[in-house]
Chain A
């Protein structure tokens, strides 16, 4: 009898695509949950919403949201989204993708979109590795962490994503973990209402792959790590927010006002046309 009852958020999901492909204890489902919760609370016009994702476990998120969605090639969701947003600024374009997709293969697009301040919103699930391909080292893999491609421990320094985003010029930068569901939801709402390029990093458990290699075999263990290590410090210096086993600084880091690229562009276009009109008459 219970199964007949509909989940209050079910209407935002593509029934045909459910159940999602994500493992038990994976945080991607929580991110999706918070995202649809946010659009529900904002009563967003789904017709004006476009969700774009790249390649990786979380890349499937776009397909699960019952709205306009596009699943691009690896690393290119930001570039694709840029085209969408410029072609139709009315659309609210959100990217939900992973740390590898956005910051390794797609890193260049990220920093340039942030620099340009194009009005697209990026939600990054950071699970510290390439989950879908079986757990290889990635741009956020912690030093000394074990992955299939760092069997002797990782010797590359990971990106501090919030610092990178802030330095690149994002107008909104926040980091939460999948344990901070309320904050994450509120933060996503804020993100969706910001002008310009906004970014939220969501530290997310990957127990089946990353956890397995690093002594956190269950989602619960990883979530408990988040609980113990995370400290909310709003508007602290993102440069000092590197993620370590002992300390995960979460909170909002940047929230500034800056005219978006598309707005400037369309203002220019209007200006130019006025001039032309004046010349004609």
Chain B
């Protein structure tokens, strides 16, 4: 039954998605850009800096947007990025 959904659900605060901790092994990166391009939440972008291999490794734009799907980890040909769940005391508020 179609209803117009215009307001933010009242219990939005109740759900606390796990917070991500993204690790980029800069010097292992060969700069293919897969992690940046295929991130469903556009958490990454190309950085200015040039790494040991002369490419621009990715940098984190907004870690809080990461939903830990870890696609970047799996699609990286160079084992240069991975994500772990942030271990923190009272619920990692950002």
A residues with CB within 8 A of B: 2-3, 5, 7-10, 13, 18-20, 22-30, 32-34, 37, 178-179, 181-182, 185, 218-220, 223
Contacts and interface: CB of A to CB of B under 8 A. Distances in A.
B78 A19 contact: yes
A180 to B, nearest CB: 10
A185 B32 contact: no
B4 to A, nearest CB: 33
Nearest to B77: A29
Interface stretch (B5-13, B22-30, B86-94): B22-30
Given A10-B79, A13-B79, A33-B79, A2 B34 contact: no
Interface centre among A5, A18, A24, A182 (most CB of B within 10 A): A24
B76 interface: yes
Given A2-B23, A24-B31, A220-B37, A30 B82 contact: no
A33 B77 contact: yes
Given A24-B55, A25-B32, A181-B71, A7 B77 contact: no
29 contacts: A2-B25, A2-B26, A3-B25, A5-B23, A7-B23, A18-B28, A18-B79, A19-B28, A19-B30, A19-B53, A19-B78, A25-B32, A25-B33, A26-B77, A29-B78, A29-B79, A30-B74, A30-B75, A30-B76, A33-B75, A34-B74, A178-B75, A179-B75, A181-B75, A218-B33, A219-B33, A220-B32, A223-B34, A223-B38
Interface string B60-92: 000000000001011111110010100000000
Nearest to B27: A3
A223 B36 CA distance: 13
B34 A33 contact: no
Contacts of B77: 22, 25-30, 32-33, 219
Nearest to A185: B74
Contacts of B26: 2-3
B32 A181 contact: no
A13 B78 CA distance: 11
B82 A24 contact: no
Contacts of A9: 79
Kindly state the interface size class of chain B when it binds its partner: 20 to 34
Nearest to A3: B25
Nearest to A20: B78
A219 B74 contact: no
A37 B32 CA distance: 20
A23 B32 CA distance: 9
A192 to B, nearest CB: 17
In the A-B complex, the 10 residue pairs with the closest CB atoms: A29-B77, A24-B30, A181-B74, A25-B32, A219-B32, A7-B79, A24-B32, A30-B77, A5-B23, A2-B23
Contacts of B82: 7-8
Contacts of B31: 24
A107 B90 CA distance: 60
Given A220-B34, A223-B34, 13 more contacts: A2-B24, A8-B82, A9-B79, A22-B77, A27-B77, A29-B77, A29-B78, A30-B75, A33-B74, A37-B74, A181-B71, A181-B74, A219-B77
A29 B33 contact: no
Interface centre among B23, B25, B78 (most CB of A within 10 A): B78
Interface string B31-56: 11110011000000000000001010
A22 B76 CA distance: 12
